[in-house]
Amino acid sequence: MMQLPESPNQKNNLFNAMNRFIGAVNNMDQTVMVPSLLRDVPVDEDSEMSSLKSDVDEGDMYSYYQLLKSIRRDIEWGVRCAAADERRKENHLLVWGSHSQVKNTDS
């Protein structure tokens, strides 16, 4: 498959769009003081959001908040770093869970 050469203007547009997205998510992150309060806030139904709703399990603002932060992290650090982060979290939870089971059997 032949790749079309990208002009510097196209690369700049993508880079600028990514920077604007990251800035908007950072602004959202600084504005929302207690994200967990978004859990029960329903999302207003409009044409743009209804297409996203099928991709997200829950329809509350907190799930969208988490989704946007996740996308920002993937853009900033790349998908590989995000996957490595997930593996570290899972391993930490597994170690923590087995540690608590050991405590329970010692009692």
Cα 96 to the center of its chain, rounded Å: 24
pTM over 0.85: no
Closest CA to 69 of 35, 94, 96: 35
Please, which pLDDT band fits residue 5 given cuts at 50, 70 and 90?
A: low
Q: What is the pLDDT of residue 92?
A: 75
pLDDT per residue as tens digits for the range 32-41: 888 888 888 8
Question: Which pair of structure tokens corresponds to residue 71?
Answer: 């996308």
Q: How far apart are CA 71 and CA 50, in angstroms?
A: 19
pLDDT for 62-95, tens place per residue? 888 999 999 999 888 876 776 777 778 778 776 6
Q: How many residues does the chain have?
A: 107
Domain-wise residue ranges, the chain: 8-79
| Contacts for 38-46: CB closer than 8 Å, 24+ residues apart | 38/62, 38/65
